[in-house]
A and B are shown apart, each in its own frame.
Chain A
Amino acid sequence: MNPSQPTQPKGIIARLALLDLRHEWVLSLCMVLAIAAVLAPLLILLGLKHGTIQTMRDRLVEDPVNREIRPARTLQLSTQWFEDFKQRPDVEFLIPTILRGSSIVRLSKPGERKRLVIDLVPTAPSDPLILENEGVVPKKGECVLSYAAAEELGVKTGAVLTAEVTRTRKRRRESERTDLRVVAVLNPRADALERIYTPFAFVNDVEAYREGRAVPTRNWPGGKALPPLSYDGLWVLMLRSLSAIEETTLTIGTGLADIHSLNAAEFRQQLGFPLPDGYSAYQLLAKGSPILASSIKRVKNKLRGKSAILLPYAQAIEIKRMTGETLKVIGLSLSESQTSRLGLPKLPWGKFNAAADFTKQGQMLFPRTLAGQQSLTLSSKIMNGEIEFPVTQRGLSFGDYAIVPAELIGTLRTGQASKIVFDETQQTFLLAKAGYRGFRLYARSIDDIPTLYREFISQNMDVMTQVHEIEKVKVLDRGLTRIFWLVAIVGIVGGMAALIASLYASVERKKRDISVLRLMGLSRTQVFQFPIYQGITIAVISVVVAIGGYALLSSIINLVFAADLKMGQKICTLPYNYLIITFFVTAGMAALSSLLAAWKTTGIDPAEAIREE
C-alpha cells in the first residue's frame, strides 16, 4: 500500500488559511487595521523625511551655483591643468577666467551716455550657469546679462549694447568699442551681481587690450607681447688678454658664472669663422637660468673702454629646414664698425638690439649650399614642440655656418623655457599666454563637491564652494534618517508584537479545528504553514491599506504645502522602490511574527479533536 500516492493539490493549506481569515473577517480586519495603523504613519514619516531632503537637495542641485567652485585667490594654471581636470568624471564644466582687473567693460545702450561698468565673465557651450538659468550660450558678437545688469541697463533679450574697453597706455587713455547683442537675461538666482557673459575669445581679447596688447582680429591697436631674448652666455672678443681679476669681475653680478679663454681652434669650431688677428676670445657661461639682455648690458659696462665686442650665444638651438636637414647656424649681430674691426663683412641687420622684432630677426646669410634659395621656412624645437618661421636670404655666409641675427637665437632660446608662437598675421614671434589666473567649475552633482573640494585643498588651492551648505543637508538627512529608524523600529516591534499576539491567540482559538485537520491527515509541517500564510496575508493587505492611507495623507500634506513648493516638488513623497521594499519587508516580518503561532500549531495533537468533542 502506498497511501501517499495521490497528489495533493498545491496551495490547499494556503486556501484553507485564507478561508479561515475570511470566515473571521471582523477579527482579520482588526488585525489589518492595527498593522496598517503602524505602517501608514511610518510611511508618512519616511515620505516627509524623503520629500523634505529631496526638495532641499533638488533646490541645491537645481541651482548650478551650488555646484560651482571658484578659486579664492589668483592662481597660475596651465592649459594642461585645464585639459586634465576637464577629464574628471565629476567635473561637468570648466572654463578659465581672467584677472578681475582685466575683465572690466563699460556697457551702454546705443545713443545713451549712461554707462555701466561691469564685470566680464567668459562662457562656453554647455555652461550650466547659463543653460540652467533660462539662458542660451552666446556666440561671437553676442552676450548674456545677469538679471541685475539687465535691470540696471533697462534692456531685454534682443537689445544691442555697446561694450567699451578702456586702457591707459603710455599715459594716454585709449578705448575701443564693439556691439554685443543680448541673447538672454539670466534668472535672478544665477547671479546677484551685475555681470555680462560673453564667449571666452572676447574675454581674452579684452584682457589682451587692457594689458596693452594689440588685438589684430578686432583691429584693436597695441603692443606686441614679444618674447624677451635669453642666452646661455657670451663670447667676448678683446684686443688684449684679461687679467685673472678682470675675468673674475665679469662673473660677479652679471648672471654669468664661469669664464674661460678660447683658443683659435675652439673659436673656429664654435663660431664658424677664424679668430681675427690680434684678438683674444673668452667664453662667459651662465649656469642654471639663461641670461637676459640686462646681463649683456652689465658685462658691457664692466668692459667699457676696453674695446670689447660681445657676442651673445645659445648652445642647444637646433634649426632645421622643412626637409628635415639640420642647418648649423650662428647668431651674430654686429655694427658696421665692429665688423670692420674684426675684419668681417658687414652684416645687413647691423648691431645687437634687444628690442628688435621679426623684421630684423627673420634674416639670414645662407650657407653656400643654399645659394640659390631666396627664402626658407625653418623650424626649431621649443618648449612644447616645434615652432616654424620664415627667413629671407640677405646674402651668403662668410663662415662655416649660416648666420642669423643674434636676436633670433635669443628668441628661440626663450622658446625653450617659455611658450612662444609665431603669429602669421603679425609676422612675429609672440609670447603665448602662459596660463590662466582662475576658473569657474561646475561639478556634475552636489555629491561631487566634497571630493573636488578635497582635491583642490590637496593641490594647495583655496576654493569657494557650497560644500558647507551641502554638508548641512547631509547632516540633516542623517539626523532625520536616525529619527525615522528609531520611530520605525519602535513601530515595527509594536506591529510585530501585535501580530504575534493576534496569530498566537488565533491558533489557541482554532485549536479544535487544527486538531480536526491533523486527524484528517494533515502533517505537522502542513499545519505549521497555516498561521504563516495568514500572517503574510494580513501583512500584505495591511501594506496595501497603509499605502492607501499614505497616498491620501501625503496628497493632503503636499496640497497644504503646495504654495511653498515649485511645480513637481513634494514635501511628502516616496519613490516606488521604497513602497516595494516596504511590501516585502512587511511580508518577511509577518512571516517571522507568525513563527511562534506556527510552532504552536505543530504541538496540537490530532487526538484533541476526539477529546474536545
Chain B
Amino acid sequence: MLTIPLVLDLLNGLKRREQGGITFELHIPQLTLQKGQFVAVVGESGCGKSTLLDLLALVSRPTACSQFSYYDTQNAETLQPTDLKNLWDSESENALAALRRSRFGYVLQTGGLLPFLTVFQNLQLPSKLNGYHHDLQIKNLAKRFGVDGVLDKKPQYLSGGQRQRVAILRAINHQPNIILADEPTAAVDKTRALSIVKDFHTLAKENGTTIVMVTHDRELVAPFADVTYTFDVTEESETLTQSNCKLIDIISI
C-alpha cells in the first residue's frame, strides 16, 4: 500500500480558554493531516471548531500537547519536520508567521478579502508576500472559477459567492500545503455551497493540497470528505465545558 506523506500531526492537544469565569477545554487526542486529504471538521456552534482551526492555523498556542509537527511536502530535501510545539514554546512568532504566509492558505466565512485592494490585488497579495509573481496563473484560475470579469473590482461590489470564490483563489494561489477554510459556505446558497465544496475537493485531489474545512453542515461535506472530525461536548460543571475532538469517518484515498 502506498504511504501518503504526513503534513501535520497533533498528539494529545489541549486548548483551554477562559471567559467570564467559564472554562472551555478542547481535547485533541490525535489529529493527523495527510497530503491531498480533504478533511471535514463538523459540529454544532460552540463545540470548538474555530478553536481547532486557530490551533491548525498557527494563530493560537496549544495549552498543552505531546507533539505538534508540520511536514513540508513541498521541500523533499527537508527530512526533519518543523516542531511547531517548540516554535510556540520559544515564542518564535516570526517563524510561525513565515509558515502561515508560505505554507498555509485561509478561506474565511465571508472571504476575508481586504476592502482596499481590488480582486486582482487581493489575489496577488499572498504571492507577493512570498516574493512570487503568479499573475498569469491568477488570471487562468480566475477564469476557471468564473471571477475573471471582476478582477478590477473592489470586494464590496461582489456577490457572496464571488467573494468566496475569490477567497478560495487567494488561498490557493501561492500553492500552500494546507488550506484552512472556516465555514466558507455559510454565507452562500446550497447550490453555491456544493460548488465550493466540490472545488475544494478537486483542489485537494488535483494539487495534493490538504484541505481542512470547518462546517456545521455535515451532509454537505460527507460525500467528499476523506476524513471527518467532530466533537463530543460535555458540561463537566457550571464553569467547565469539555470538548473532545474525534475522528468519525475515514475513507481510504
* Contact yes or no, A613 B130, CB < 8 A: no
Q: Is B45 an interface residue (CB 8 A)?
A: no
Given known A1-B72, A520-B100, A523-B97, contact A610–B114 (CB-CB < 8 A)? no
Q: Is B241 an interface residue (CB 8 A)?
A: no
* Contact yes or no, A610 B98, CB < 8 A: no
CA gap between A1 and B177 in the complex, in Å = 12
What residue of chain A has the Cβ atom nearest to residue B70's Cβ? Answer: A1
Which residues of chain A have C-beta atoms less than 8 A from B128's C-beta? 8-9, 12
CA gap between A605 and B75 in the complex, in Å = 29
Q: Is B99 an interface residue (CB 8 A)?
A: yes
Nearest CB of B to A76, in Å: 85
Given known A1-B72, A22-B116, A605-B59, contact A610–B108 (CB-CB < 8 A)? yes
Q: Is B227 an interface residue (CB 8 A)?
A: no
Q: Is A513 an interface residue (CB 8 A)?
A: yes
Which residues of chain A have C-beta atoms less than 8 A from B121's C-beta? 19
Nearest CB of A to B242, in Å: 21
CA gap between A609 and B57 in the complex, in Å = 11
Given known A8-B131, A519-B57, A520-B106, contact A610–B116 (CB-CB < 8 A)? no
* Contact yes or no, A4 B98, CB < 8 A: yes
* Contact yes or no, A610 B102, CB < 8 A: no
CA gap between A197 and B68 in the complex, in Å = 102
Q: Is A541 an interface residue (CB 8 A)?
A: no
Nearest CB of B to A19, in Å: 5
Report the contact-size class of chain B (Cβ under 8 Å from the partner): 35 or more
Given known A605-B59, A610-B108, contact A520–B125 (CB-CB < 8 A)? yes
Which residues of chain A have C-beta atoms less than 8 A from B109's C-beta? 613
Which residues of chain A have C-beta atoms less than 8 A from B132's C-beta? 6
Given known A3-B103, A606-B59, contact A513–B114 (CB-CB < 8 A)? yes
CA gap between A611 and B54 in the complex, in Å = 9
Nearest CB of B to A525, in Å: 8
In the complex, the number of residue pairs spanning A and B with C-beta atoms less than 8 Å apart equals 107
CA gap between A3 and B87 in the complex, in Å = 14
CA gap between A522 and B93 in the complex, in Å = 10
Q: Is A516 an interface residue (CB 8 A)?
A: yes
Nearest CB of B to A23, in Å: 3
Report the contact-size class of chain A (Cβ under 8 Å from the partner): 20 to 34
* Contact yes or no, B98 A3, CB < 8 A: yes
Q: Is the interface of B mostly helix, strand, loop or mixed?
A: mixed
Mark A1-40 against chain B: 1 for CB-CB distance below 8 A, else 0.
1111011110010001001101110000000000000000
Q: Which chain A residues (46-89) contact chain B, with CB distance < 8 Å?
A: none
Q: Which chain B residues (126-148) contact chain A, with CB distance < 8 Å?
A: 126, 128-132
* Contact yes or no, A613 B108, CB < 8 A: yes
Q: Is B112 an interface residue (CB 8 A)?
A: yes
Q: Which chain B residues (61-116) contact chain A, with CB distance < 8 Å?
A: 70, 72, 74-75, 78, 82, 93-95, 97-104, 106, 108-110, 112, 114-116
Q: Which chain B residues (4-42) contact chain A, with CB distance < 8 Å?
A: none
Q: Is B207 an interface residue (CB 8 A)?
A: no
CA gap between A212 and B130 in the complex, in Å = 103
Q: Which of B97, B110, B116 contacts A521 (CB 8 A)?
A: B97
What residue of chain A has the Cβ atom nearest to residue B72's Cβ? Answer: A1
Given known A12-B128, A523-B94, A606-B100, contact A19–B117 (CB-CB < 8 A)? yes
CA gap between A518 and B59 in the complex, in Å = 9
CA gap between A3 and B100 in the complex, in Å = 9
Given known A12-B129, A516-B114, A609-B112, contact A521–B100 (CB-CB < 8 A)? yes
* Contact yes or no, B106 A519, CB < 8 A: yes
Which residues of chain A have C-beta atoms less than 8 A from B98's C-beta? 3-4, 521
Mark A595-613 against chain B: 1 for CB-CB distance below 8 A, else 0.
0000000000111011101
* Contact yes or no, B108 A609, CB < 8 A: yes
CA gap between A188 and B72 in the complex, in Å = 93
CA gap between A202 and B102 in the complex, in Å = 95
Q: Which chain A residues (572-613) contact chain B, with CB distance < 8 Å?
A: 605-607, 609-611, 613
Q: Which of B75, B101, B108, B126 contacts A1 (CB 8 A)?
A: B75
Q: Is A300 an interface residue (CB 8 A)?
A: no
Nearest CB of B to A285, in Å: 104
* Contact yes or no, B129 A522, CB < 8 A: yes
Which residues of chain B have C-beta atoms less than 8 A from A610's C-beta? 50, 53-54, 57, 59, 106, 108, 182
Which residues of chain A have C-beta atoms less than 8 A from B234's C-beta? none
CA gap between A415 and B183 in the complex, in Å = 118
Nearest CB of B to A252, in Å: 110
Q: Is B60 an interface residue (CB 8 A)?
A: yes
Which residues of chain B have C-beta atoms less than 8 A from A6's C-beta? 102, 130-132
Which residues of chain A have C-beta atoms less than 8 A from B50's C-beta? 610-611
CA gap between A525 and B182 in the complex, in Å = 27
Which residues of chain B have C-beta atoms less than 8 A from A517's C-beta? 114
| B-to-A contact residues, CB < 8 Å | 50, 53-54, 57, 59-60, 70, 72, 74-75, 78, 82, 93-95, 97-104, 106, 108-110, 112, 114-117, 121, 125-126, 128-132, 154, 182-183
Provide a sorted-by-A list of 27 A–B residue pairs whose CB atoms are within 8 angstroms: A1-B72, A1-B78, A2-B78, A3-B102, A4-B95, A4-B102, A6-B131, A19-B116, A19-B117, A19-B121, A513-B114, A516-B108, A517-B114, A518-B97, A521-B97, A521-B98, A521-B101, A522-B97, A523-B94, A524-B93, A607-B57, A609-B112, A610-B53, A610-B54, A610-B182, A613-B108, A613-B110
The 5 closest A-B pairs by CB, nearest first: A521-B101, A23-B116, A6-B131, A1-B72, A613-B109
Apart from A513-B114, A610-B57, list 4 A-B contacts with CB within 8 A: A519-B106, A521-B101, A523-B97, A607-B59
| A-to-B contact residues, CB < 8 Å | 1-4, 6-9, 12, 16, 19-20, 22-24, 513, 516-525, 605-607, 609-611, 613
